[in-house]
Amino acid sequence: MKYLLFDRLSGEETLKVRHNVTDLFVESDHHDYHPHCEIYYNNSTQAQAYLINNQLIHGNTPTVVILSPFAIHNMTPQQKGVTFESWVLHFRSATVERVGDELLPPDWRVCFSNCVFPLTEEQNRRLFPIFSRICAPENSERENRAWFFLFLTTLFEMVPAGSRIHAGESDFFISNILSYIYGNIASIRSTKDLCVRYHCSQSTLDRNFHRYLGLSPHQIIVDCRTARAIDYLKNTALPIARIAELCGFTTEYYFYVFFKSQTGKTPSQVRK
């Protein structure tokens, strides 16, 4: 199974909710990882396995999962031959960090490092209507944030610390490397740069990337350059020459050739 970089938030977006209806007759060939936080809400009692940073957790109750940026995760319903509904809220870390210390409990930062919140049926009946109001079409941005923080405070009050499951390691090295690649793509020239920074051999790096991501470190760097380029082209007015530089290319020509080979389109076509 491959993991592909997918930035679900574009431009100035800070919150976005997706309603997923998964057809369990169809097998996907990949999963996503993201440069932003994610809240996964399963409001059914269907059995599900949560794989987060190489730790597997099973559950058969309504569940909320808060995932940190670049967490390697896979939410898999266990019952085959049915459809399965879930909701995913994508949000930027800064949305919470600005006011989290004022509005949330003292341990809120720990809860944002890949935490699973099992819910009772009664808790789910109280919590899901609040969650469903986030990003409602009639809401203003301020109202979306208000519903978002009401959801978080209610969740933290409902589920005591002893009932929460901290999944995977918050310093999982693969997630750390992905975060570094994403934040430093302009200066990374090859996978050797990663080996030097993380004090490992090329074979060790290759082996672990294939094990956890299903892709080589080189392909991850290529995917990241492409994703960052698309983001700059769609959401900024930066000159293409500057975007090429920010994505790690020495000339606009090499950027053009790379981008066309990866997307089938020129930078100008994507920008329109």
pLDDT in tens, 110-121: 888 899 999 999
Q: Percent of the chain at pLDDT above 70?
A: 94
d(CA 28, CA 53): 19
Predicted pLDDT at 25: 47
Q: Supply the pTM of this predicted model.
A: 0.89
CB-count burial class (<10 Å; 0-12, 13-18, 19+) for 194: buried
Residue among 187, 176, 172 at smallest CA distance from 225? 187
What are the start-end ranges of the E strands in 114-241? 115-118, 165-166
Provide the 8-state DSSP code for 172: -
SS3 for 87? strand
Residues 6+ apart with CB under 8 A from 145: 14, 15, 95
d(CA 250, CA 31): 32
Residue among 74, 53, 92, 75 at smallest CA distance from 178? 53
Q: How many CA atoms lie within 13 A of 157 on its CB side?
A: 10
Predicted pLDDT at 31: 80
Residue 30 pLDDT grade (very low, low, confident, very high; cuts 50, 70, 90) = low
List pLDDT tens digits, range 144-176: 999 999 999 999 999 999 999 998 776 788 999
Predicted pLDDT at 153: 95
